[in-house]
Amino acid sequence: MSILDIWLGILEGFRVTAGITIYGLLFAIPFGLVFGVAQYLATGFVRFVVTSVIEFWRSSAVIILLFVFYYALPVIGVTLSAMTVGAMVLGLNIGGYASQAVRAGLQALDRGQKEAGQALGLSRPTILLRIELPQALVAMSPTFINHIIQLVKATSLVSLITLTDMTFRAKEISQIAYEPVPIYLSLLMAYFVACYPIALFGRWVERRVNPVREARNGI
Amino acid sequence: MHDTAHDLAVQITALQKWYGAFHVLKDISLSVSRGARIVICGPSGSGKSTLIRCLNGLENYQQGTVILGGTRLGDNARDTSLARRQTGMVFQNFNLFPHLTVLSNCTLALRRVGGMARGEAESLALHHLERVRIPEQAYKYPAQLSGGQQQRVAIARALCMNPRLMLFDEPTSALDPEMIKEVLEVMTGLAHDGMTMICVTHEMGFAREVADEVVFMDQGSIVEQAAPATFFSTPNHPRARSFLNTLLH
Amino acid sequence: MEFDPSFALSTVPTILSAIGMTLLVAACSCLGAAVIGFCLEITRRSGGVQGLAVRFLIDFIRATPVLVWLYCLYFILPYYGIRLDALTVGIAGLSIYFSGYLAEVFKAGIDAIAEGQQEAAKALGLGRLDRIIFVIAPQMLRNIAAPMGNYFVSILKATPYLAVLAVPEMLGQAFDIASETYRYAEPLMVAGIIFLSLALGISQGIKWLERRLLAPMSR
């Protein structure tokens, strides 16, 4: 099997990899925003509930979550497609991380921002939406871009629940032809090609958001 | 001729240094004889710190020669380590190692560079901590000391290596006024013990009392070099005069 | 089929019996990742061609999924006649993958050390190795304690990936039960709960240790 055949074969799985990533972001972004803000604002019991939900999605081992939801949901009568289960589990896991970035971004803001808004007579929702969140989202954007990379990489897990993503295709191909070296190295390269531009974009955003700190060398 | 060279602690000849296009040190020549106390002063950015950092290889230079204790320093690791063995340096920000106790700060180089056994290193370190009048703090961490105490520990740390030349890079600039005195007293004591010292400092009282020679630098050059009495009463150069005026007012 | 709590409970001892394997894998991988990551970071800082190469290698590792690294080692090594047991391959895979992240942790830990520390150590005549061992590394360890703790938990949560290579850790054990009984939901949920408790417990433990151990040296 030629390298080109291997690449084309793996590429057939790209649609599922990209699809799960985008579908997953549809879970991750709303979850991260809503729960991050909620954790920032809430107090007492509500905060405990919000934190528990976030910790469930964030602190669980994502591979186990994936299997649990894939195998356990039908038991309680909920039938979702593997695609939906994959996107939901991976998305909410990343969303849990994103919520922490949102909350940290909000907490890092100078308290004077909120107070200035209050002094101007703005309502709390207005302060949140027009003053606090815009600044927090800018500050957290490099972190969030890193989470997107984590999501792309985590999509390789859906190969374990029968979805034909790039990893699944690589395993299929290797069953046809015993050429593990080119096949799996190509698979590594495929993910690198997908993720590295996002990483470079993230660095560019980071430089725009944070003042440049010179890279230091030497010990 | 040979004897003069032997009595010189440092001889700097035609030293030139650039940071990219910026000419930091312009044709610096300076001889420091053994036991001499030199104070280097000048406005910020005049190159005075850079100059003394060239003497122990913390900075490199493009042209000129530095002869330290009779040995000409080249740009190689062996000469750099030789220079560092002969010199002790005290920094503006103390640069004590925060993860080590005061005593361990002093013994680290004794043991690693000097190859000294632990007990011997510790008693030597305690001796120098006594010399800077701080032996009771030996087992504390730097963060638990005041700035003045930290700087005195830094002096003791440098003295432990038995340097032939002490370099002070604005040792009191980061200190509150009440702590400056205790550090200057320790430095004066060192001078009376006959230590060869090159101090970058703006403490003119110290210069007047202790220095054999004041070197005034501006824009990378040595502009004036004189005994303190002469320098403070009748400075020759207009830039030295205006510098002294800004210090006085 | 319905969810059976008593069956779920009956799987706990079997799954828990593999907790030692899970912790062993996590500890070995964390150590391996730290050693490789530290070497990568020191080489990256030394500059030159090898520094650039390592910089790219770290970026590459961070842009590729851990599952694919495991497949790569598992399938490629035997092709070259290197036969290692699944456990070794798994630990090696996790070590390589997380070394890319720990290198970044070390970088931040070293960058945070005050500039003057290097100079003071140089002025005392300490050589490069002595500076690394006695001045840089101890201060770096203090700076990286918190992120290292977080990565240990991340590594712990990645150990169930080894189930894919049939290493008998907790998820593997859960799948064994599932394939014998044809009941997936219960053992998987039990494994998930154990992992979640372990991750949360260890996170708290690490926070407690940090407060206890690092207090005396900080101002």
pLDDT tens per residue across span A160-191: 999 999 999 999 999 988 889 999 999 999 99
Choose the closest CB to C138 out of B84, B88, B99: B99
Q: Are C and B close enough to touch, i.e. 3+ CB pairs under 8 angstroms?
A: yes
Whether C172 has its CB under 8 Å from any CB of chain A: the answer is no
- Say if residues A13 and A166 touch (Cβ distance below 8 Å): yes
% of chain B beyond a pLDDT of 90: 72
Whether C130 has its CB under 8 Å from any CB of chain B: the answer is yes
- Could you tell me the pLDDT band of residue A94, with boundaries at 50, 70 and 90? very high
- Could you tell me the pLDDT band of residue B2, with boundaries at 50, 70 and 90? very low
Choose the closest CB to C125 out of B81, B91, B96: B81
Q: What is the pLDDT of residue A156?
A: 96
Q: State the Cα–Cα distance between residues A50 and A57, nearest whole angstrom.
A: 11
Backbone angles phi, psi at C201, to 5 degrees: -60, -45
* CATH architecture assigned to A15-165: Orthogonal Bundle (1.10)
Q: Which residue has the higher pLDDT, A115 or C44?
A: C44
Chain B nearest-CA distance from C148, in A, is 18
**What's the predicted TM-score (pTM) here?**
0.78
Structure tokens at C182: 């044809």
Tell me what the mean pLDDT of segment A83-92 comes to: 96
List all residues of chain B from 194 to 233 with a beta carbon under 8 Å from chain C.
none
Structure tokens at B202: 């703006």
Q: What is the pLDDT of residue A218?
A: 55
Chain C nearest-CA distance from A203, in A, is 12
Whether C157 has its CB under 8 Å from any CB of chain B: the answer is no
* Residue pairs spanning B and C at CB distance below 8 A: 70
Q: Are B and A close enough to touch, i.e. 3+ CB pairs under 8 angstroms?
A: no
CATH number at C5-218: 1.10.3720.10
Q: What is the pLDDT of residue B1?
A: 38
Q: What is the pLDDT of residue B249?
A: 64
> Is the per-residue pLDDT at B29 higher than 80?
yes
Q: What is the pLDDT of residue A81?
A: 92
Q: Which chains touch C (3 or more CB pairs under 8 A)?
A: A, B
Q: What is the pLDDT of residue A211?
A: 63
Whether B11 has its CB under 8 Å from any CB of chain C: the answer is no
In this structure, are strands B71-72 and B165-169 parallel, antiparallel, or unpaired? unpaired
pLDDT in tens, B61-107: 999 999 988 888 877 888 888 888 889 999 999 999 888 899 999 99
- Could you tell me the pLDDT band of residue A78, with boundaries at 50, 70 and 90? confident
Sign of CA pseudo-dihedral A160, A161, A166, A172: positive
Task: Flag if C188 and A68 touch (Cβ within 8 Å).
Answer: yes
Q: What is the pLDDT of residue A212?
A: 54
**Angle, nearest 10°, between helix axes A180-209 and C48-62?**
100
Chain C nearest-CA residue for B59 = C119
| Residues of chain C neighbouring A173 (CB-CB closer than 8 A) | none
- Say if residues B90 and B171 touch (Cβ distance below 8 Å): yes
Backbone angles phi, psi at A45, to 5 degrees: -65, -40
> Is the per-residue pLDDT at B216 higher than 80?
yes
Chain C nearest-CA residue for B166 = C123
- Say if residues B98 and B142 touch (Cβ distance below 8 Å): yes
Tell me what the mean pLDDT of segment A130-148 comes to: 92
Task: Flag if C123 and B56 touch (Cβ within 8 Å).
Answer: yes
Q: Which residue has the higher pLDDT, B221 or B9?
A: B221
- Say if residues C170 and C18 touch (Cβ distance below 8 Å): yes
Q: What is the pLDDT of residue A194?
A: 95
Please name every residue paired with B197 in a beta bridge, in sequence order, or none if there are none. B37, B166
pLDDT in tens, A26-62: 999 999 999 999 999 999 999 999 999 999 999 999 9
Whether C134 has its CB under 8 Å from any CB of chain B: the answer is yes
Per-residue model confidence as pLDDT tens for chain C (219 residues): 677 888 988 888 999 998 999 999 999 999 999 999 999 999 998 888 999 999 999 999 999 999 999 999 999 999 999 989 999 999 999 999 999 999 999 999 988 888 889 899 999 999 888 998 999 888 988 888 888 989 999 999 999 999 999 888 899 999 999 989 888 889 999 999 999 999 999 999 888 887 776 665 554
pLDDT in tens, B159-191: 999 999 999 999 999 999 889 999 999 999 999
Choose the closest CB to A196 out of C1, C63, C66: C63
Q: What is the pLDDT of residue A116?
A: 81
Supply the mean pLDDT for chain B: 90
Chain C nearest-CA distance from A167, in A, is 7
Chain A nearest-CA distance from C152, in A, is 12
Q: Which residue has the higher pLDDT, A122 or B100?
A: B100
Domain definitions of chain C by residue range:
5-218
Backbone angles phi, psi at B28, to 5 degrees: -85, 125
Q: Which chains touch A (3 or more CB pairs under 8 A)?
A: C
Q: State the Cα–Cα distance between residues C65 and A86, nearest whole angstrom.
A: 16
Task: Flag if A149 and C110 touch (Cβ within 8 Å).
Answer: no
| Residues of chain A neighbouring C62 (CB-CB closer than 8 A) | 149, 195, 199
Sheet of B87-90: strand order equals B87-90, B165-169, B196-200, B37-41, B213-218, B221-226
Q: Give the three-state DSSP class for B23.
A: strand
**Angle, nearest 10°, between helix axes A82-108 and A44-59?**
130
Whether C7 has its CB under 8 Å from any CB of chain A: the answer is no
For residue A159, the 8-state DSSP code is: G
The residue among B52, B59, B78, B84 with the most chain C CBs within 10 A of its CB, best to mutate, is B84
